[in-house]
Copies of this chain bind each other. A is one copy, B any other.
Amino acid sequence: METSKAEALKRMKSIAGHVRGIEKMLQADEYCIDVIKQIQAVQAALNKVSTTLLEGHLHSCVITAVQGEDMKERERVLEEIANVFSTATKV
C-alpha cells in the first residue's frame, strides 16, 4: 500500500470512531449545536483524507498516465481530477 493510502486508512479509522461518538451524542439527546460542531469536525477530517489521497494519486497514477503513450487514458485521468475538484467546491 502507498504511504498516502496507509495514512488515509489510519485517519478513516479515527473518523469512524468520531462518527460512532456522534451517534452516541444523538442517542443521549445532546444539544443540537454540539452535535453539528462534531459533524463539522468530521468533515474537516474527511477533507484532509481527500487531500492526502489526491496528493498520492498525483504523484503516482497521474505521472504514469501523463508520461504514457495512451492519449485517451491521459485525458481520462486529467478529467477525473477536474471532476473531484468541481465536486469539492460544492460539498
Contact = CB atoms under 8 A, between A and B. Distances in A.
A12, A13, A86 — most chain B CB neighbours (10 Å): A12
Interface residues of A, number: 58
A5, A26, A40 — most chain B CB neighbours (10 Å): A26
B89 A62 contact: no
B40 A54 contact: no
B61 A32 contact: yes
Interface of A: 1, 4-5, 8-9, 12-13, 15-16, 19-20, 22-23, 26-27, 29, 31-33, 35-37, 39-40, 42-44, 46-47, 49-51, 53-59, 61-63, 66-67, 74, 78-82, 84-91
